[in-house]
Amino acid sequence: MDKRIYGVLGISSIMGNWNADFTGYPKTTSDGIVFGSDKALKYPMKKMWENNGEKVLYIKSMRISNEKKGEIQVVPRNLKERYEYIFNTENLKYCKDTKEILTNLFKTIDVKNFGATFAEEGKNISITGAVQIGQGFNKYIGTYSETQQILSPFRDDSKAQKEAKKKKNENWEEEEDAKNSTLGNKIVSNEAHYFYPFTINPLAYKEFVELGVTDGYTEEDYKKFKKTSLVSATSFATNSKIGCENEFGLFVETDEDLYLPNLSEYISFNKGESKNTIELNCSDLINSVVDKVKAIEIYYNPYTTEIKSDIKGAKIYNIFTQEEV
């Protein structure tokens, strides 16, 4: 592929939790700005690729373990086991051909896009991905968190057992408390709008092409990335992500020798009564280098959002139908 791509991907979260920290609340910076990590965006993409039959290396998968006598457990595969599983390899440690391992790694769609750090069985391999995704900052100033209490249909037996061991003479009220259903919490954002910057540099794999382990980052790779990046958040309907959807995509295809800054910094989001507005303040920047721009595509949700842009030659599409507006 003889071009670079710069862009932004937008995710809306309505009564959902796009990316939680270890406390369960939406991730924030030290000064309270809500953001989503690049991993939060990559994960639904990898799940979608896996569901479509693509080889995906860096994703959680389970196996049955009977290492302890009398115990059968379901445990996650480690990296070595995941590699052996998807490439039907008996034991990675017996593979002495690093070129074969590199070739296999580039056959997985997540490594082909995002790169890899593969340190297993004395084989230290580092691949810088052609696709680099930054942190997605929330551009809506009215975001706040809400906590919902959830009643479990089951009692907490572990609590009852612990209390029974501590006391020989439990009274009836304490026993009833232990038998009550347990409470849990679900934490969501009232509303948030995340904008992720990304770049695609096909020259990242130049040395691996010279080694003969890959054909490089191709136009077909880019098409798969673009197609999945525009729908994967919408398709990934888990309990906490059910309110999270793709709402925006900007793709600027340029000559290989053009270098643009982080385009998400030039985007603003404004809440409206009937429709929201996403404003692209990078029009002057892109218009000034239009002679090195091959194509510009803007995808958005026309049912909830309006686009404000003066970018010359940009084609605008419905993000759901992917038909030109």
Contact 114, 42 (CB under 8 A): yes
- Label residue 143 by pLDDT band (50, 70, 90): very high
- Residue 162 — φ and ψ, nearest 5°? -65, -45
Rounded to the nearest integer, the mean pLDDT of the chain is: 90
The 10 Å Cβ neighbour count of residue 284 is 10
What is the percent of the chain where pLDDT is above 90? 77
CA dihedral 89, 91, 93, 97 (to 10 degrees): -30
The residue with tokens 């020798």 is 257
More confident residue, 32 or 156: 32
**Which stretches of the chain are DSSP H helices?**
38-51, 79-86, 98-105, 109-114, 157-166, 172-179, 206-211, 219-229, 232-235, 283-288
pTM: 0.89
CA dihedral 106, 108, 112, 113 (to 10 degrees): -170
More confident residue, 160 or 145: 145
How many angstroms separate the Cα of 118 from the Cα of each of 123, 207, 324? 7, 17, 41
Short-list 24, 101, 13, CA closest to 57 = 101
pLDDT tens digit sequence for 26-61: 999 999 999 999 999 999 999 999 999 999 999 999
pLDDT, residue 170, reads: 47
Q: Which whole number is the average pLDDT over 224-239?
A: 91
More confident residue, 18 or 168: 18
3-state secondary structure at position 202: helix
Contact 191, 247 (CB under 8 A): no
CA distance 215 to 93: 26
Bridge partners for 146 per DSSP? 188
Structural tokens at position 133? 């995704």
How many angstroms separate the Cα of 46 from the Cα of each of 55, 107, 228, 233, 276? 9, 14, 9, 11, 29
Structural tokens at position 180? 């009550």
More confident residue, 180 or 272: 272
- Residue 293 — φ and ψ, nearest 5°? -100, 125
DSSP string, 273-307: SS-EEEEETTHHHHHHTGGGEEEEEEEE-TTTEEE
Short-list 1, 5, 2, CA closest to 198 = 5
pLDDT of residue 168 exceeding 50:
no
3-state secondary structure at position 33: coil
CA distance 230 to 233: 8
pLDDT, residue 280, reads: 97
Bridge partners for 45 per DSSP? none
Short-list 3, 8, 28, CA closest to 17 = 28
